[in-house]
Amino acid sequence: MSTIHAGVAVAAPAREPSAGSAASAAPATAASGRILARGIAVTAMALGLAHVWILVVFPHGLLMTLLLAAMVAACLKCAHRAWGSPQALPGLLAMSAFMAIVHTFMALGFGGHQHGGHEPATAATAASGAMLAIAAAELALVMLCSIGMRRTSSAGSPARYLV
C-alpha cells in the first residue's frame, strides 16, 4: 500500500516492529557493545603492561622513567573506563593515536630522545624496534576503538561520544 504526498507516491512500511521485539533487542545490543568494549579494554591493558616491559627491559633516565610511568597510568585509566562503558572508547582512541605518534617520534630519535643511550648499536636498534612495535600496536588499538564506536552506535546506542 502506498500513500501520496505532494503528488509523489511513497511506499508505506511493510510492517511495524512490535514493541516487545524492540524492547528485547535493546538489551542484547547493549550487552554486545559492552562485550566489545571490554575486549578493547583488555587490549589496552595489555599495551599498558607492554609499557612496563619497555620500562624494565630498556634503561631510561629519570625523566623518561617518569614519563613512561605517566603513560602507563593514562593507558590503564582509559582501559578501566572502556571496561565500564563503550562511551569511553573515543577517549581511548584519542589517547592511543597520540601515543602512537609519540612512540614513533621517540623511536626515530626526535626531541633528543635516543633509545639505547650509550649502548651498542644492536641495543639501540632493539629498543627502537620495540618502540615501533608499541606504536603499531597503538595504531591497531585506534582501529579497534573506531570499530567499537561504529558497532555500538549502529547497534542502537545513542551516539553521545565526547572526547
- H helices of 4-159, in order, are 19-57, 62-84, 89-108, 121-154
The residue among 93 and 14 whose pLDDT is bigger is 93
Judge whether residue 23 has pLDDT over 70: no
101 domain-assigned: yes
The string of pLDDT tens digits covering residues 84-98 is: 888 899 999 999 999
Task: Answer whether residue 125 is part of any domain.
Answer: yes
pTM over 0.95: no
pLDDT digits (tens, 9 = 90+) for 119-146: 444 445 777 888 889 899 999 999 999 9
Range of the domain at 99: 33-154
Residue 38 belongs to a domain: yes
Instruction: Say what the pLDDT of residue 121 is.
Output: 44
Inside any domain, residue 53: yes
Mapping DSSP to helix (H, G, I), strand (E, B) and coil, where does residue 18 land? coil
Residue 103 lies in a domain: yes
In a domain? residue 10: no
What pLDDT score does 5 carry?
54
Residue 125 CB-half CA count within 13 A:
3
Q: For residue 145, what are the CA distances in angstroms to 11, 83, 89, 114, 149?
A: 38, 12, 6, 30, 6
Q: 25 with 83: CB under 8 angstroms?
A: no
Between residues 116 and 131, the one the model is more confident about? 131
Q: Does 77 map to a domain?
A: yes
Which grid coordinates belong to 96?
Answer: 592511543
Question: CA 115 from chain center: how many Å?
Answer: 26
Domain membership flag for residue 132: yes
Tell me how many domains the chain contains: 1
